[in-house]
Chains A and B, each alone.
Chain A
Amino acid sequence: MSTAGPKAHYSLVIIGAGPAGLAAAAAAAGHGLDIALLDEQRAPGGQIYRAIESIPAERARLLGSEYRRGEDLVGAIRNSDVEYFPDTQIWSLNREREIGLVHGRSAAMISADQVVLAGGAIERPVPYPGWTLPGVMNAGAGQILLKAQGIVPANGVVLAGSGALLLLLAWQYMRAGVQIKALLDCTPMHNHLRALPYLPRALLARHYLLKGLQYKLDLKRAGISTLQNVSDMQADGEQRVESVSYRHRGRQHTIKTDLLLTHFGVIPHIQLSQAAGCRHYWDKSQQCWRPQVDEWGNSSVNGILIAGDGVGIGGARTAEHAGRLTALEAVRALGRVSQHERDRLARNDRKWMREEQHIRPFLEAFFHLPGKLLAAPADDTVVCRCEEVTAGAIRKAISEGHDDSNQVKFLTRCGMGPCQGRQCAESVTHIVAGATGKSLPEVGLFRVRPPITPLTLEQLGSLFPDETE
Protein backbone atom coordinates (compact mmCIF):
# COMPACT_ATOMS: atom_id res chain seq x y z
CA MET A 1 0.00 0.00 0.00
CA SER A 2 2.35 2.70 1.21
CA THR A 3 5.84 2.71 -0.23
CA ALA A 4 6.94 5.27 2.36
CA GLY A 5 7.33 2.61 5.02
CA PRO A 6 6.15 2.67 8.61
CA LYS A 7 6.73 5.67 10.91
CA ALA A 8 9.26 5.52 13.72
CA HIS A 9 6.63 5.04 16.43
CA TYR A 10 3.06 3.81 16.84
CA SER A 11 0.88 3.41 19.88
CA LEU A 12 -0.05 -0.07 18.64
CA VAL A 13 1.75 -2.36 16.21
CA ILE A 14 0.09 -5.59 15.13
CA ILE A 15 2.29 -8.19 13.46
CA GLY A 16 0.56 -10.62 11.12
CA ALA A 17 -2.49 -10.08 8.89
CA GLY A 18 -4.23 -13.44 9.28
CA PRO A 19 -7.51 -13.84 11.17
CA ALA A 20 -6.09 -12.82 14.58
CA GLY A 21 -4.19 -9.78 13.32
CA LEU A 22 -6.98 -8.56 11.06
CA ALA A 23 -9.58 -8.89 13.81
CA ALA A 24 -7.26 -7.17 16.28
CA ALA A 25 -6.63 -4.28 13.92
CA ALA A 26 -10.33 -3.80 13.24
CA ALA A 27 -11.19 -3.89 16.94
CA ALA A 28 -8.47 -1.40 17.86
CA ALA A 29 -9.38 1.00 15.04
CA GLY A 30 -11.72 3.86 15.83
CA HIS A 31 -10.26 4.51 19.28
CA GLY A 32 -8.09 7.38 18.07
CA LEU A 33 -4.87 5.36 18.17
CA ASP A 34 -1.97 5.33 15.79
CA ILE A 35 -2.00 1.73 14.54
CA ALA A 36 0.25 -0.16 12.14
CA LEU A 37 -0.49 -3.65 10.81
CA LEU A 38 2.67 -5.32 9.52
CA ASP A 39 2.63 -8.46 7.42
CA GLU A 40 5.21 -10.38 5.45
CA GLN A 41 2.83 -11.35 2.69
CA ARG A 42 1.90 -9.26 -0.26
CA ALA A 43 -1.82 -9.31 0.51
CA PRO A 44 -3.85 -9.71 3.71
CA GLY A 45 -5.51 -12.94 4.89
CA GLY A 46 -2.68 -14.98 6.39
CA GLN A 47 -2.31 -18.55 5.17
CA ILE A 48 -5.90 -19.50 5.86
CA TYR A 49 -7.48 -16.71 3.81
CA ARG A 50 -4.59 -16.37 1.41
CA ALA A 51 -5.43 -14.54 -1.84
CA ILE A 52 -8.92 -13.74 -0.50
CA GLU A 53 -9.04 -10.40 -2.35
CA SER A 54 -7.81 -11.68 -5.70
CA ILE A 55 -9.09 -15.24 -5.99
CA PRO A 56 -11.37 -16.04 -8.95
CA ALA A 57 -14.89 -17.05 -7.83
CA GLU A 58 -14.57 -20.49 -9.39
CA ARG A 59 -11.50 -21.35 -7.34
CA ALA A 60 -12.95 -19.90 -4.13
CA ARG A 61 -15.89 -22.33 -4.52
CA LEU A 62 -13.49 -25.26 -4.66
CA LEU A 63 -12.05 -24.29 -1.30
CA GLY A 64 -15.33 -24.54 0.59
CA SER A 65 -17.53 -22.03 2.38
CA GLU A 66 -15.36 -21.32 5.41
CA TYR A 67 -12.74 -19.64 3.24
CA ARG A 68 -15.14 -16.81 2.34
CA ARG A 69 -15.09 -15.61 5.95
CA GLY A 70 -11.83 -13.85 5.23
CA GLU A 71 -13.57 -11.29 3.01
CA ASP A 72 -15.22 -9.42 5.89
CA LEU A 73 -12.07 -9.48 7.98
CA VAL A 74 -10.01 -7.94 5.20
CA GLY A 75 -12.77 -5.52 4.22
CA ALA A 76 -12.86 -4.10 7.75
CA ILE A 77 -9.17 -3.21 7.53
CA ARG A 78 -9.37 -1.71 4.09
CA ASN A 79 -12.06 0.68 5.36
CA SER A 80 -10.24 1.68 8.53
CA ASP A 81 -7.56 4.18 9.51
CA VAL A 82 -5.12 1.37 10.32
CA GLU A 83 -1.85 1.74 8.39
CA TYR A 84 -1.34 -1.60 6.68
CA PHE A 85 2.15 -2.53 5.48
CA PRO A 86 2.38 -5.72 3.41
CA ASP A 87 5.73 -7.12 2.22
CA THR A 88 7.23 -6.39 5.63
CA GLN A 89 9.62 -8.89 7.22
CA ILE A 90 10.25 -8.69 10.95
CA TRP A 91 13.78 -9.60 11.95
CA SER A 92 13.80 -8.60 15.60
CA LEU A 93 11.65 -7.69 18.58
CA ASN A 94 12.83 -6.96 22.10
CA ARG A 95 11.38 -6.30 25.55
CA GLU A 96 11.40 -2.56 24.89
CA ARG A 97 9.04 -3.23 21.97
CA GLU A 98 11.56 -2.12 19.39
CA ILE A 99 10.83 -3.82 16.10
CA GLY A 100 13.41 -4.46 13.41
CA LEU A 101 11.82 -4.76 10.00
CA VAL A 102 12.54 -4.81 6.29
CA HIS A 103 10.04 -2.99 4.13
CA GLY A 104 10.72 -2.86 0.42
CA ARG A 105 14.48 -2.95 0.12
CA SER A 106 15.43 -1.17 3.30
CA ALA A 107 15.63 -2.10 6.94
CA ALA A 108 14.29 0.07 9.77
CA MET A 109 13.78 0.05 13.54
CA ILE A 110 10.44 1.25 14.85
CA SER A 111 8.87 1.15 18.30
CA ALA A 112 5.43 0.78 19.82
CA ASP A 113 3.70 1.27 23.17
CA GLN A 114 1.83 -1.99 22.70
CA VAL A 115 2.57 -4.89 20.36
CA VAL A 116 0.17 -7.64 19.35
CA LEU A 117 1.86 -10.70 17.86
CA ALA A 118 -0.40 -12.59 15.47
CA GLY A 119 2.13 -14.66 13.59
CA GLY A 120 0.03 -17.79 13.38
CA ALA A 121 1.24 -21.33 12.97
CA ILE A 122 3.62 -23.39 10.88
CA GLU A 123 3.31 -27.01 9.89
CA ARG A 124 4.98 -29.30 12.38
CA PRO A 125 8.27 -30.50 10.89
CA VAL A 126 8.62 -34.26 11.30
CA PRO A 127 11.78 -35.84 9.90
CA TYR A 128 11.41 -39.17 8.11
CA PRO A 129 13.58 -40.89 5.49
CA GLY A 130 13.48 -39.00 2.21
CA TRP A 131 11.72 -35.86 3.45
CA THR A 132 14.42 -33.68 1.90
CA LEU A 133 13.93 -35.03 -1.64
CA PRO A 134 12.60 -32.68 -4.31
CA GLY A 135 8.96 -33.58 -4.90
CA VAL A 136 8.28 -33.94 -1.18
CA MET A 137 6.47 -30.96 0.29
CA ASN A 138 4.19 -29.93 3.10
CA ALA A 139 0.48 -30.36 2.48
CA GLY A 140 0.18 -26.67 3.34
CA ALA A 141 2.44 -25.88 0.39
CA GLY A 142 0.05 -27.75 -1.88
CA GLN A 143 -2.82 -25.76 -0.47
CA ILE A 144 -1.01 -22.45 -0.94
CA LEU A 145 -0.42 -23.28 -4.61
CA LEU A 146 -4.09 -24.10 -5.01
CA LYS A 147 -5.42 -21.05 -3.16
CA ALA A 148 -3.08 -18.37 -4.33
CA GLN A 149 -2.24 -19.53 -7.79
CA GLY A 150 -4.65 -22.19 -8.93
CA ILE A 151 -1.84 -24.70 -9.31
CA VAL A 152 -2.47 -28.41 -8.68
CA PRO A 153 -0.59 -31.71 -9.02
CA ALA A 154 -0.33 -32.74 -12.68
CA ASN A 155 0.42 -36.44 -12.36
CA GLY A 156 -1.45 -37.33 -9.21
CA VAL A 157 -0.35 -37.02 -5.61
CA VAL A 158 0.21 -39.13 -2.52
CA LEU A 159 -1.06 -37.46 0.66
CA ALA A 160 0.29 -38.73 3.96
CA GLY A 161 0.44 -37.90 7.64
CA SER A 162 -2.09 -36.95 10.27
CA GLY A 163 -4.33 -33.98 10.89
CA ALA A 164 -7.39 -32.09 9.74
CA LEU A 165 -5.60 -30.23 6.94
CA LEU A 166 -4.77 -33.49 5.20
CA LEU A 167 -8.42 -34.38 4.90
CA LEU A 168 -9.40 -30.88 3.82
CA LEU A 169 -6.72 -30.78 1.12
CA ALA A 170 -7.76 -34.21 -0.17
CA TRP A 171 -11.33 -32.96 -0.41
CA GLN A 172 -10.30 -29.76 -2.20
CA TYR A 173 -8.09 -31.68 -4.63
CA MET A 174 -10.91 -34.11 -5.31
CA ARG A 175 -13.17 -31.18 -6.23
CA ALA A 176 -10.45 -29.78 -8.46
CA GLY A 177 -10.23 -33.09 -10.30
CA VAL A 178 -6.77 -33.99 -9.03
CA GLN A 179 -5.89 -37.68 -8.99
CA ILE A 180 -5.24 -38.81 -5.42
CA LYS A 181 -3.09 -41.93 -5.68
CA ALA A 182 -3.27 -42.65 -1.98
CA LEU A 183 -4.35 -41.03 1.24
CA LEU A 184 -2.12 -42.50 3.94
CA ASP A 185 -3.38 -41.74 7.43
CA CYS A 186 -0.57 -42.19 9.95
CA THR A 187 -2.83 -41.51 12.93
CA PRO A 188 -2.48 -44.51 15.28
CA MET A 189 -5.63 -46.55 15.70
CA HIS A 190 -5.58 -46.31 19.50
CA ASN A 191 -6.12 -42.56 19.20
CA HIS A 192 -9.79 -43.31 18.73
CA LEU A 193 -9.86 -44.58 22.29
CA ARG A 194 -7.71 -41.76 23.50
CA ALA A 195 -10.17 -39.25 22.05
CA LEU A 196 -13.34 -40.95 23.25
CA PRO A 197 -13.58 -39.24 26.66
CA TYR A 198 -13.58 -35.85 24.90
CA LEU A 199 -16.35 -36.76 22.49
CA PRO A 200 -19.29 -35.54 24.60
CA ARG A 201 -17.82 -32.04 24.84
CA ALA A 202 -16.87 -32.14 21.15
CA LEU A 203 -20.49 -32.81 20.31
CA LEU A 204 -21.24 -29.30 21.54
CA ALA A 205 -19.33 -28.14 18.47
CA ARG A 206 -20.65 -30.89 16.26
CA HIS A 207 -20.59 -28.82 13.07
CA TYR A 208 -16.83 -29.44 12.95
CA LEU A 209 -17.28 -33.18 13.35
CA LEU A 210 -20.03 -33.26 10.77
CA LYS A 211 -17.91 -31.36 8.28
CA GLY A 212 -15.08 -33.86 8.74
CA LEU A 213 -17.44 -36.77 8.25
CA GLN A 214 -18.91 -35.11 5.16
CA TYR A 215 -15.43 -34.72 3.65
CA LYS A 216 -14.73 -38.39 4.30
CA LEU A 217 -18.00 -39.43 2.77
CA ASP A 218 -17.46 -37.27 -0.32
CA LEU A 219 -14.00 -38.76 -0.78
CA LYS A 220 -15.33 -42.26 -0.42
CA ARG A 221 -18.07 -41.62 -2.97
CA ALA A 222 -15.41 -40.37 -5.35
CA GLY A 223 -13.61 -43.67 -4.94
CA ILE A 224 -10.78 -42.32 -2.81
CA SER A 225 -10.31 -44.39 0.29
CA THR A 226 -8.12 -43.58 3.22
CA LEU A 227 -5.67 -46.18 4.47
CA GLN A 228 -5.81 -46.01 8.27
CA ASN A 229 -3.09 -46.74 10.76
CA VAL A 230 -0.23 -46.46 8.26
CA SER A 231 3.30 -46.54 9.66
CA ASP A 232 6.95 -46.44 8.54
CA MET A 233 6.14 -44.06 5.71
CA GLN A 234 9.14 -42.91 3.69
CA ALA A 235 10.01 -41.23 0.40
CA ASP A 236 12.44 -42.95 -1.95
CA GLY A 237 14.35 -41.72 -4.98
CA GLU A 238 17.76 -40.63 -6.18
CA GLN A 239 17.61 -37.03 -7.34
CA ARG A 240 13.92 -36.60 -6.51
CA VAL A 241 11.06 -38.59 -5.04
CA GLU A 242 10.10 -41.56 -7.22
CA SER A 243 8.01 -43.61 -4.83
CA VAL A 244 6.57 -43.73 -1.34
CA SER A 245 6.70 -46.83 0.81
CA TYR A 246 4.78 -47.61 4.00
CA ARG A 247 3.43 -50.37 6.22
CA HIS A 248 -0.25 -51.14 6.35
CA ARG A 249 -1.89 -54.10 8.12
CA GLY A 250 1.46 -55.73 8.69
CA ARG A 251 2.59 -55.54 5.06
CA GLN A 252 5.02 -53.37 3.18
CA HIS A 253 3.73 -51.38 0.17
CA THR A 254 5.19 -49.05 -2.44
CA ILE A 255 3.48 -46.51 -4.71
CA LYS A 256 5.14 -44.68 -7.57
CA THR A 257 4.64 -40.92 -7.49
CA ASP A 258 6.43 -37.71 -8.43
CA LEU A 259 4.76 -35.78 -5.61
CA LEU A 260 4.31 -36.55 -1.92
CA LEU A 261 2.56 -34.01 0.30
CA THR A 262 2.75 -34.64 4.03
CA HIS A 263 1.17 -33.06 7.06
CA PHE A 264 1.67 -33.70 10.77
CA GLY A 265 -0.43 -30.99 12.34
CA VAL A 266 0.41 -27.37 13.01
CA ILE A 267 2.32 -25.71 15.84
CA PRO A 268 2.61 -22.06 16.94
CA HIS A 269 5.28 -20.08 15.12
CA ILE A 270 7.11 -18.81 18.19
CA GLN A 271 10.29 -17.36 16.71
CA LEU A 272 9.24 -13.76 17.46
CA SER A 273 7.80 -14.35 20.92
CA GLN A 274 10.99 -16.24 21.76
CA ALA A 275 13.16 -13.41 20.42
CA ALA A 276 11.21 -10.97 22.60
CA GLY A 277 11.98 -13.06 25.67
CA CYS A 278 8.40 -14.15 26.36
CA ARG A 279 8.05 -17.17 28.62
CA HIS A 280 7.09 -20.42 26.85
CA TYR A 281 5.95 -23.80 28.11
CA TRP A 282 5.52 -27.29 26.70
CA ASP A 283 1.90 -28.28 26.07
CA LYS A 284 1.56 -32.05 26.27
CA SER A 285 -1.84 -32.18 24.66
CA GLN A 286 -0.95 -29.99 21.66
CA GLN A 287 2.59 -31.43 21.59
CA CYS A 288 4.21 -28.05 21.09
CA TRP A 289 5.81 -25.07 22.81
CA ARG A 290 3.46 -22.21 23.55
CA PRO A 291 3.99 -18.71 24.88
CA GLN A 292 2.41 -18.17 28.27
CA VAL A 293 -0.44 -15.66 28.11
CA ASP A 294 -3.28 -14.59 30.39
CA GLU A 295 -6.93 -14.55 29.35
CA TRP A 296 -6.39 -11.22 27.52
CA GLY A 297 -3.35 -12.37 25.61
CA ASN A 298 -0.77 -10.56 27.79
CA SER A 299 2.55 -12.40 27.54
CA SER A 300 5.16 -12.42 30.30
CA VAL A 301 6.69 -9.30 28.71
CA ASN A 302 4.98 -6.03 29.50
CA GLY A 303 3.18 -4.54 26.49
CA ILE A 304 3.57 -7.60 24.27
CA LEU A 305 0.32 -9.47 23.65
CA ILE A 306 -0.15 -12.59 21.55
CA ALA A 307 -3.27 -13.82 19.78
CA GLY A 308 -4.31 -16.65 17.51
CA ASP A 309 -2.52 -19.83 16.56
CA GLY A 310 0.76 -18.24 17.67
CA VAL A 311 -0.46 -18.82 21.24
CA GLY A 312 -1.70 -22.36 20.71
CA ILE A 313 -3.62 -24.08 17.98
CA GLY A 314 -7.26 -23.08 18.13
CA GLY A 315 -8.20 -22.56 14.50
CA ALA A 316 -9.22 -19.51 12.50
CA ARG A 317 -12.37 -18.61 14.40
CA THR A 318 -10.72 -18.76 17.79
CA ALA A 319 -7.96 -16.61 16.34
CA GLU A 320 -10.49 -13.95 15.37
CA HIS A 321 -11.98 -13.79 18.85
CA ALA A 322 -8.59 -13.79 20.51
CA GLY A 323 -7.46 -11.03 18.16
CA ARG A 324 -10.33 -8.83 19.25
CA LEU A 325 -9.74 -9.58 22.94
CA THR A 326 -6.06 -8.67 22.80
CA ALA A 327 -6.88 -5.50 20.87
CA LEU A 328 -9.37 -4.42 23.52
CA GLU A 329 -6.81 -5.11 26.23
CA ALA A 330 -4.19 -3.06 24.36
CA VAL A 331 -6.68 -0.22 23.92
CA ARG A 332 -7.36 -0.36 27.66
CA ALA A 333 -3.67 -0.36 28.49
CA LEU A 334 -3.32 2.73 26.32
CA GLY A 335 -6.04 4.46 28.34
CA ARG A 336 -8.67 4.66 25.61
CA VAL A 337 -11.29 2.49 27.31
CA SER A 338 -11.90 1.65 30.96
CA GLN A 339 -11.63 -1.85 32.28
CA HIS A 340 -15.39 -1.91 32.61
CA GLU A 341 -15.82 -0.85 28.97
CA ARG A 342 -13.29 -3.43 27.80
CA ASP A 343 -15.18 -6.18 29.59
CA ARG A 344 -18.46 -5.06 28.08
CA LEU A 345 -17.04 -4.94 24.54
CA ALA A 346 -15.37 -8.33 25.02
CA ARG A 347 -18.42 -10.20 26.25
CA ASN A 348 -19.47 -11.87 22.98
CA ASP A 349 -15.99 -12.79 21.85
CA ARG A 350 -15.24 -14.42 25.19
CA LYS A 351 -18.40 -16.46 24.99
CA TRP A 352 -17.85 -17.50 21.36
CA MET A 353 -14.25 -18.35 22.04
CA ARG A 354 -15.29 -20.70 24.85
CA GLU A 355 -17.71 -22.39 22.47
CA GLU A 356 -15.03 -22.76 19.80
CA GLN A 357 -12.82 -24.54 22.30
CA HIS A 358 -15.21 -27.45 22.82
CA ILE A 359 -13.76 -29.34 19.88
CA ARG A 360 -10.07 -28.89 20.68
CA PRO A 361 -9.38 -31.57 23.35
CA PHE A 362 -11.03 -34.15 21.10
CA LEU A 363 -9.01 -33.11 18.04
CA GLU A 364 -5.79 -32.98 20.04
CA ALA A 365 -6.30 -36.50 21.36
CA PHE A 366 -7.48 -37.83 18.02
CA PHE A 367 -4.45 -36.48 16.13
CA HIS A 368 -1.92 -37.10 18.90
CA LEU A 369 1.32 -38.11 17.19
CA PRO A 370 3.11 -41.20 18.48
CA GLY A 371 6.37 -40.55 20.30
CA LYS A 372 8.12 -42.86 17.86
CA LEU A 373 7.41 -40.49 14.98
CA LEU A 374 8.65 -37.43 16.86
CA ALA A 375 11.58 -38.70 18.89
CA ALA A 376 12.94 -41.70 17.05
CA PRO A 377 14.06 -40.82 13.52
CA ALA A 378 16.60 -43.38 12.25
CA ASP A 379 20.24 -42.40 12.64
CA ASP A 380 20.73 -41.62 8.95
CA THR A 381 17.63 -39.40 8.70
CA VAL A 382 18.41 -35.71 8.21
CA VAL A 383 16.92 -33.63 11.04
CA CYS A 384 18.40 -30.19 10.27
CA ARG A 385 17.64 -29.65 6.60
CA CYS A 386 19.85 -26.55 6.29
CA GLU A 387 23.08 -27.88 7.79
CA GLU A 388 22.32 -31.52 6.95
CA VAL A 389 22.68 -32.81 10.49
CA THR A 390 21.38 -36.35 10.94
CA ALA A 391 19.63 -37.84 13.97
CA GLY A 392 22.74 -40.01 14.40
CA ALA A 393 25.02 -36.97 14.64
CA ILE A 394 22.72 -35.49 17.26
CA ARG A 395 22.70 -38.73 19.25
CA LYS A 396 26.49 -38.88 19.04
CA ALA A 397 26.73 -35.38 20.52
CA ILE A 398 24.35 -36.44 23.28
CA SER A 399 26.38 -39.57 24.04
CA GLU A 400 29.42 -37.33 24.43
CA GLY A 401 27.65 -35.57 27.26
CA HIS A 402 25.92 -32.67 25.52
CA ASP A 403 22.45 -33.04 26.91
CA ASP A 404 20.55 -29.87 26.16
CA SER A 405 19.34 -28.39 22.88
CA ASN A 406 21.74 -25.48 22.83
CA GLN A 407 24.80 -27.63 23.45
CA VAL A 408 23.75 -29.93 20.63
CA LYS A 409 23.28 -26.92 18.38
CA PHE A 410 26.69 -25.53 19.22
CA LEU A 411 28.42 -28.83 18.60
CA THR A 412 26.63 -30.02 15.46
CA ARG A 413 25.57 -26.72 13.81
CA CYS A 414 22.04 -28.13 13.90
CA GLY A 415 19.71 -25.12 13.75
CA MET A 416 22.38 -22.66 12.64
CA GLY A 417 21.43 -22.55 8.96
CA PRO A 418 19.22 -20.03 7.16
CA CYS A 419 15.94 -21.28 8.68
CA GLN A 420 17.44 -20.71 12.15
CA GLY A 421 16.07 -23.89 13.61
CA ARG A 422 12.45 -23.39 12.58
CA GLN A 423 12.48 -26.85 10.97
CA CYS A 424 14.52 -28.76 13.55
CA ALA A 425 14.21 -27.14 17.00
CA GLU A 426 11.33 -29.34 18.06
CA SER A 427 12.88 -32.56 16.77
CA VAL A 428 16.13 -31.85 18.56
CA THR A 429 14.27 -31.38 21.83
CA HIS A 430 12.47 -34.69 21.31
CA ILE A 431 15.64 -36.58 20.38
CA VAL A 432 17.59 -35.23 23.35
CA ALA A 433 14.74 -36.00 25.72
CA GLY A 434 14.39 -39.48 24.23
CA ALA A 435 18.08 -40.21 24.58
CA THR A 436 18.65 -38.76 28.05
CA GLY A 437 15.37 -39.51 29.78
CA LYS A 438 15.05 -35.81 30.64
CA SER A 439 11.72 -34.05 30.28
CA LEU A 440 11.16 -31.77 27.28
CA PRO A 441 11.10 -28.59 29.43
CA GLU A 442 14.41 -29.65 30.99
CA VAL A 443 15.99 -30.12 27.58
CA GLY A 444 14.64 -26.76 26.44
CA LEU A 445 14.43 -25.07 23.06
CA PHE A 446 17.11 -23.32 21.02
CA ARG A 447 17.76 -19.78 22.18
CA VAL A 448 16.65 -17.33 19.52
CA ARG A 449 18.76 -14.32 18.66
CA PRO A 450 18.10 -11.54 16.18
CA PRO A 451 18.15 -11.23 13.27
CA ILE A 452 15.59 -14.04 13.10
CA THR A 453 15.50 -13.72 9.31
CA PRO A 454 18.76 -13.20 7.41
CA LEU A 455 19.51 -9.58 6.44
CA THR A 456 21.57 -8.62 3.40
CA LEU A 457 24.46 -6.18 3.72
CA GLU A 458 22.45 -3.68 1.69
CA GLN A 459 19.57 -3.92 4.16
CA LEU A 460 21.89 -3.60 7.13
CA GLY A 461 23.48 -0.56 5.52
CA SER A 462 20.08 1.08 5.13
CA LEU A 463 19.76 1.08 8.93
CA PHE A 464 22.58 3.62 9.08
CA PRO A 465 21.89 5.96 6.16
CA ASP A 466 24.27 8.69 7.35
CA GLU A 467 27.28 6.44 7.29
CA THR A 468 26.64 4.86 3.94
CA GLU A 469 25.70 7.95 1.96
Chain B
Amino acid sequence: MFKRLDSNPSKRVTITIDGIPHEAVAGETAAAAVLLSGIDCTRTTPVSATPRAPFCLMGVCYECLMVIDGQPNRRACQEYVAEGMRIETQRGPGALPE
Protein backbone atom coordinates (compact mmCIF):
# COMPACT_ATOMS: atom_id res chain seq x y z
CA MET B 1 0.00 0.00 0.00
CA PHE B 2 2.80 2.45 0.94
CA LYS B 3 6.51 2.87 0.29
CA ARG B 4 9.33 5.18 1.36
CA LEU B 5 10.43 7.89 -1.04
CA ASP B 6 13.97 7.54 0.24
CA SER B 7 15.06 3.99 -0.46
CA ASN B 8 18.15 4.18 1.70
CA PRO B 9 17.19 5.92 4.95
CA SER B 10 19.61 6.30 7.84
CA LYS B 11 18.99 5.64 11.55
CA ARG B 12 17.29 2.28 11.25
CA VAL B 13 15.83 0.43 14.19
CA THR B 14 14.51 -3.10 14.47
CA ILE B 15 10.99 -3.62 15.72
CA THR B 16 8.66 -6.59 15.72
CA ILE B 17 5.16 -6.57 14.30
CA ASP B 18 3.12 -9.54 15.48
CA GLY B 19 6.38 -11.24 16.39
CA ILE B 20 8.04 -10.77 13.00
CA PRO B 21 11.14 -8.54 12.91
CA HIS B 22 10.90 -5.46 10.67
CA GLU B 23 13.22 -2.58 9.92
CA ALA B 24 11.84 0.85 10.68
CA VAL B 25 13.34 4.32 10.61
CA ALA B 26 13.82 6.42 13.73
CA GLY B 27 11.28 9.26 13.72
CA GLU B 28 8.60 7.10 12.14
CA THR B 29 5.40 6.43 14.03
CA ALA B 30 4.40 2.88 14.86
CA ALA B 31 1.41 3.35 12.53
CA ALA B 32 3.67 4.34 9.64
CA ALA B 33 5.92 1.35 10.27
CA VAL B 34 2.92 -0.97 10.29
CA LEU B 35 1.48 0.51 7.08
CA LEU B 36 4.87 0.08 5.39
CA SER B 37 5.09 -3.53 6.54
CA GLY B 38 2.12 -4.32 4.32
CA ILE B 39 -0.15 -5.46 7.13
CA ASP B 40 -3.76 -4.56 6.36
CA CYS B 41 -5.48 -4.94 9.68
CA THR B 42 -4.15 -3.31 12.85
CA ARG B 43 -7.07 -4.17 15.09
CA THR B 44 -10.38 -5.98 15.06
CA THR B 45 -13.43 -4.29 16.51
CA PRO B 46 -14.81 -5.29 19.92
CA VAL B 47 -18.40 -5.53 18.63
CA SER B 48 -18.23 -7.52 15.37
CA ALA B 49 -14.52 -8.42 15.07
CA THR B 50 -14.20 -6.71 11.69
CA PRO B 51 -10.73 -5.57 10.57
CA ARG B 52 -9.72 -1.94 10.88
CA ALA B 53 -6.63 0.12 10.14
CA PRO B 54 -5.35 3.66 10.81
CA PHE B 55 -7.66 6.30 9.36
CA CYS B 56 -6.64 9.84 10.38
CA LEU B 57 -3.02 9.49 11.56
CA MET B 58 -3.48 12.60 13.70
CA GLY B 59 -4.77 11.15 16.92
CA VAL B 60 -8.50 11.82 16.62
CA CYS B 61 -10.15 8.66 15.26
CA TYR B 62 -8.69 5.96 17.57
CA GLU B 63 -8.80 3.44 14.73
CA CYS B 64 -5.09 2.68 15.13
CA LEU B 65 -5.35 1.16 18.61
CA MET B 66 -2.72 -1.56 18.92
CA VAL B 67 -0.84 -3.44 21.61
CA ILE B 68 2.52 -1.72 21.94
CA ASP B 69 5.23 -3.15 24.20
CA GLY B 70 2.53 -5.17 25.90
CA GLN B 71 0.20 -2.22 26.50
CA PRO B 72 -3.19 -2.42 24.75
CA ASN B 73 -5.14 0.55 23.37
CA ARG B 74 -2.13 2.60 22.33
CA ARG B 75 -2.71 4.89 19.36
CA ALA B 76 -0.06 3.66 16.94
CA CYS B 77 -0.10 7.01 15.11
CA GLN B 78 1.00 8.81 18.29
CA GLU B 79 3.81 6.43 19.26
CA TYR B 80 7.28 6.58 17.74
CA VAL B 81 9.29 3.48 16.91
CA ALA B 82 12.27 2.60 19.11
CA GLU B 83 14.78 -0.22 18.97
CA GLY B 84 13.11 -3.43 20.09
CA MET B 85 9.55 -2.03 20.11
CA ARG B 86 6.93 -4.78 20.03
CA ILE B 87 3.82 -3.92 18.05
CA GLU B 88 0.88 -6.31 17.94
CA THR B 89 -2.52 -6.39 16.29
CA GLN B 90 -5.21 -5.70 18.86
CA ARG B 91 -8.05 -8.22 18.91
CA GLY B 92 -11.32 -6.84 20.22
CA PRO B 93 -11.09 -4.60 23.27
CA GLY B 94 -7.41 -5.43 23.83
CA ALA B 95 -6.12 -7.87 26.41
CA LEU B 96 -4.68 -6.49 29.63
CA PRO B 97 -0.88 -6.41 29.81
CA GLU B 98 0.66 -9.46 31.46
Contact = CB atoms under 8 A, between A and B. Distances in A.
Contacts of A154: 1-3
B45 interface: yes
Top 4 closest pairs, chain A to chain B, by CB:
A134-B53, A141-B57, A154-B3, A418-B62
Contacts of A137: 53-57
B35 A388 contact: no
Contacts of B32: 145, 148-149, 151
Contacts of B20: none
A417 B47 CA distance: 11
Contact of B5 (A42, A47, A59, A136): A59
B18 to A, nearest CB: 15
A135 B1 contact: yes
| Residue of A56, A388, A418 ringed by the most chain B CB atoms within 10 A | A418
B57 to A, nearest CB: 4
A93 interface: no
A141 B59 CA distance: 10
Interface string A126-159: 0000001111111011001100111111110000
B47 A387 contact: yes
Interface residues of A, number: 45
Contacts of B23: none
A144 B57 contact: yes
Contacts, number: 112
A196 interface: no
Interface of A: 40, 42, 47, 54, 56, 59, 122-123, 125, 132-138, 140-141, 144-145, 148-155, 176, 239-240, 258-259, 269, 385-388, 417-419, 422-423, 454, 456
Contacts of B9: 150
Given A123-B56, A135-B1, A386-B62, 10 more contacts: A56-B6, A59-B5, A134-B41, A134-B42, A135-B53, A145-B35, A150-B6, A151-B2, A151-B32, A240-B40
Contacts of B15: none
Contacts of A134: 40-42, 51-53
Given A122-B56, A140-B57, A239-B41, A153 B1 contact: yes
Contacts of B41: 134, 239-240
Interface of B: 1-6, 9, 25, 27-29, 32, 35-36, 40-42, 45, 47-48, 50-63, 65, 71, 73, 78, 80
26 contacts: A122-B60, A132-B50, A132-B52, A134-B42, A140-B57, A141-B55, A144-B58, A148-B29, A149-B25, A150-B4, A150-B6, A150-B9, A151-B3, A151-B4, A151-B35, A151-B36, A152-B2, A153-B3, A154-B2, A259-B1, A269-B60, A388-B45, A388-B48, A418-B62, A422-B61, A454-B73
Contacts of B63: 385
A417 B62 contact: yes
A269 B61 CA distance: 12
Given A54-B27, A132-B50, A145-B35, A385 B5 contact: no
Nearest to A54: B27
SS class, residues of chain B in contact with chain A: loop
A152 B4 CA distance: 6
A423 B63 CA distance: 10
Contacts of B50: 132, 388
A385 B45 CA distance: 9
B2 to A, nearest CB: 5
Contacts of B28: 149
Contacts of B2: 145, 151-154, 259
Contacts of B27: 54, 148-149
A136 B55 contact: yes
A454 B62 CA distance: 10
A257 B3 CA distance: 15
A382 to B, nearest CB: 9
A421 to B, nearest CB: 11
A423 B50 CA distance: 18
Contact of B3 (A152, A240, A418): A152
Given A134-B40, A150-B5, A454-B73, A141 B51 contact: no
B62 A141 contact: no
A258 B3 CA distance: 13
A285 B57 CA distance: 27
A24 B53 CA distance: 36
Contact of A423 (B1, B25, B59, B61): B61
A56 B25 CA distance: 14
Contacts of B65: 418
Contacts of B52: 132, 134, 385
Nearest to B71: A456
A389 to B, nearest CB: 9
B47 to A, nearest CB: 4
A412 to B, nearest CB: 12
Contacts of A144: 57-58
